[in-house]
Structure formats: C-alpha cells, structure tokens
Structure 1
Amino acid sequence: MKPKDAATLLLLDRDKERPAVLMGKRSSRHAFMPNVFVFPGGRKDSSDWRVKSDTRLNEAVVSKLMERTHSRFSHATAHSLAIAAARELHEETSLHLSKNGELFDLSHLRYIARAITPLGQNRRYDTRFFTCFCDEVEMDLSTLKDSNELTELQWVDVQSPQNLDFPDITARILNHLRHSLNEDRTLPHTTKTLHISNK
C-alpha cells in the first residue's frame, strides 16, 4: 500500500515557564490509531495546493521538504503540505494559523520531522511534521475547542510530558522536539529534520 501524503503541526506555547505543545486524543471511531494522544494533523487534500496563504514558506523549509523526494515534488507540493498542516489544525482545534483568522501565515513554520508508516498497517501515511510558536502569528488561543477528530485538547510540557497514551511515533517526534528546543529555544528554520521510515 502506497503511503498517502499527510501533515501535522506541533503548535508551541512559550509563554509558560517551559514550552508546551498542543495535543489531543483521537476519537475511538478512527481506524488508524484510535484513543491515543497526538498532535493535530491529517491527510493532505487534493485541493490544498490551490489554497492561498498570507505569506510564503521560508525557503530553508522548502529546501528541506524537497530532500529525499521524487522528481515531481515541487514548490507547490511543499506549499500544499504546509496548508494541510494549518487546515488540519483549524479543523481539529478551531485555532487559525493567522492573526486575523483569514489567510494562513506559513512564514513561521519549521519542518522538523518526516515519518512513513511501516508496511503491514491498515493505513499508511508519509507525514511531514511542522512546528511553530503560537505567539509568532498572534494566534487567538481563546478559540481553542475540542472537535469530532480530537478531544481532551491540552498543552503538554515538552520537557516533562504527562502520563498520556502516546503512539510510539508521537513519542519519538516529541523527543526530537525536546532535543531541538534544548539546542536552540528559537527553533531556527534550519533545525535538523528527523526521518523515520520502515526502510
């Protein structure tokens, strides 16, 4: 089964003493990873490449996204993955990656990980993990609320995660995020990208 493109957004709140990342519990109705805590995200839609944004992705992020990809992977593909991450965040948490709740602001996104679901699973995804700080886009956090996709939304301490049920891949991405923040709390656009696959 060929993996389908997907995108995830690790939204960080650094107003607290230690950075916290937004996570929620997947519905029991999901065929793929039900009843576990994950970051907002999901499958890329075919229409995502047509969605306009308020700003462009940082060129360093585009370059990183284009590494280890096929020849058909383009700037439009990179844009559509970033849009998918922002769209899924909005659909699953009601938070909008912008200061005005209109066009998405992609300029602050960092690309920190890519994970491909191993063979043998009932669903397979080629997921790109983005991250950014919510204060960078002056996001209105008061709009945060549960959805049909994610419930029990909460800010999880990156350095000392609560005793939540994480899938192995989520735990690995969280660990990579923790190490990246320890190296540089600003998470520059050139932050090292973690690659995980079944190969």
Structure 2
Amino acid sequence: MAVNGLRKSAPDSASKALARIRPRDAASLLLVDRSGGELRILMGKRHMRHVFMPGKFVFPGGRTEAADGRISAIAELSESDQTKLLTGMGSRSSVQRCRALALSAIRETYEEAGLFLGRRHSDSPSIAHPDWAAFVQRNIHPDLSVLRYFARATTPPGGLRRFDTRFFLAFRDAVADALPEATGPSQELEELSWLPFREAARLDIPEITRMIIREAEATLAANPSLEPGNAVIQYRMKYGRFVREVF
C-alpha cells in the first residue's frame, strides 16, 4: 500500500500514464485471536521474490477477482457492511462486487495462510471454481457474516501496481480448518505469526499498514465483539500525504 524507496524521474508522458492507472480492487483480512489475555493478529512476511513490497510484513490479502463474487456462501455480509461497501464504490457499485471483495479476503487467507474461514456442513458447497476446491473437499462453506469491514486505503499514484484495498476484521474463532503445514499453498507469506498489536506495529511494515493496525485496535476497543455498525476509516493520498476520513 505504499511507495517505498526512490524512483528516477520519468518523462512527462510516462508520468501521466502512471497517474492514470486505475487501482485494482483488493481485500485484506486482519484475523484476531482473542483466546488469551491479549488480542493478537496474524501477519506474515512477503517473499523477497515479490515485486510489490518484498520482505515487508503484511496481513493475508490480495487482488480481488470478478469470479469471487459468484461464489456461494453459507451466510452473507451484514446489511451495514454491504451498505458501507456500496457507498464507496460510486458508479461501479453492485452487490456482486461487494461479495467479491469479502470472498477474496477469505480466499487469500486460505492461499497465503492455509486457514479456512467458514462453516463445515454435511453437504459440500456448490462451488465449481478451482481456486475454491480445497473448501469443497472439506465441506467448508465460506461465511461472509463473520467479516467486519472497517478500513480502506488506496495505493498512491505513480507506480505500476495500484490497489484499492478494503480491510476486514474477523475473529480466529471463525476458522473452520487449517492446513497442517501452517502456511498457505501459494507460499507467498513466510514467518506467519500471531502478534500483539504493539509488536505488529513495530515490524518492518509500510506506514499505511501501521495506520491500519492502529485503526483495527481502536475498532476492537470500541466494539470488542465486532457487532455490525462500526465506522469505516478511509485513507487516500492528497498533496503528498495520507488523509484520514471517517464514514
């Protein structure tokens, strides 16, 4: 979510082209373990082979695919969360796009951390997409109702990769199963760890990630059971700095 390091000046035409790049929809999940005396969140280190933020610690998440919005779920987003997602979409708003964002957060958490958010059922979910085959094999239905939308941030213009990321919170209690190797099949994240908020904020992370950690901690302090209806914090770049908005 941040531009790191220095970049050589590009010709005006190239700079203008970069500025016109539309951010891609993305979703990220802050999974919270409340089983002990102190809340902990799951973070992992991006592999050094990645072009985007190599070696940085992040939450599970990634690009949203259109197909995610067509995946069936055992329960849908709360009305409040769906309304807030729709409100921020402008002319491209749709319920399917809301679902795609939420479901991609669940899918990426499996792919990067090996954790299945959902509910096990006697019947297999009616999902034909190969990205969700592991859920079908385990009779686990994705559950959108456990997700709480709480923050949004857009990668600043000027880079080849831009993302409009929606951040969700959920409790570890919602994990129905986990891969035995304690990592995801994509192997994109290393050193997966459950960390107290203060420790997570001291990792090698972009500043916007640190801001999101603080927003998550504040959301949980005000709404410890993550009931629907919390405020959503939006960060966008204006005049070279992130501006914080609440809606």
Report the TM-score when normalising by structure 2. Answer: 0.76
Which one of the candidate residues 176, 184, 205 is aligned to 1:139?
176
User: In terms of Rg, which structure is larger?
Assistant: 2
Which structure 2 residue ranges, 5 or more long, are not aligned? 1-20, 121-137, 239-247
1:80 matched residue in structure 2:
100
Task: Name the counterpart of 1:182.
Answer: 221
Query: 128, 132, 150: which one pairs with 2:166?
Result: 128
Q: Distance in 2 between matches of 1:187 and 1:22?
A: 17
Which residue among 35, 41, 57 is the counterpart of 1:21? 41
1:45 to 57, 62, 65: 65
1:116 aligns with 2:154: yes
Of all paired residues, the percent bearing the same amino acid is 40
- Please identify which structure carries the higher helix content: 2
Instruction: Give 1:162 shift.
Output: 6.5
Indicate how the Cα distance of structure 1 residues 94 and 124 shifts in structure 2: closer, same or farther if over 3 A, else same. Answer: same
**Could you tell me which residue of structure 2 aligns to residue 9 of structure 1?**
29
| Counterpart in the other structure of 1:193 | 232
1:168-194: CA deviation from partner (whole Å, max 9, x where unpaired): 111010011111122221122211111
Show the counterpart of 1:61. 81
Distance in structure 2 (CA, Å) of the matches to 1:39 and 1:144: 18
Give me the whole-angstrom Cα distance separating, in 1, the residues matched to 2:158 and 2:108.
26
Q: Which runs of no fewer than 5 residues in structure 1 stay unpaired? A: none
Coordinate RMSD, CA, aligned: 1.6
Aligned CA distance change for structure 1 residues 96 and 138 (closer, same or farther; 3 Å): closer
> Counterpart of 1:188 in structure 2: which amino acid?
E
Equivalence for 1:172: 211
Which 4+ stretches in 1 moved above 2 angstroms?
137-144, 159-163
Q: Which TM-score applies when normalising by structure 1?
A: 0.93
Instruction: Please say if residues 159 and 178 of structure 1, whose CA atoms lie closer than 8 Å, have aligned partners that are also in contact.
Output: no
Given that 1:32 and 1:122 are in contact with CA atoms closer than 8 Å, whether structure 2 keeps it comes out as: no
Distance 1:138 1:36, change over 3 A: closer
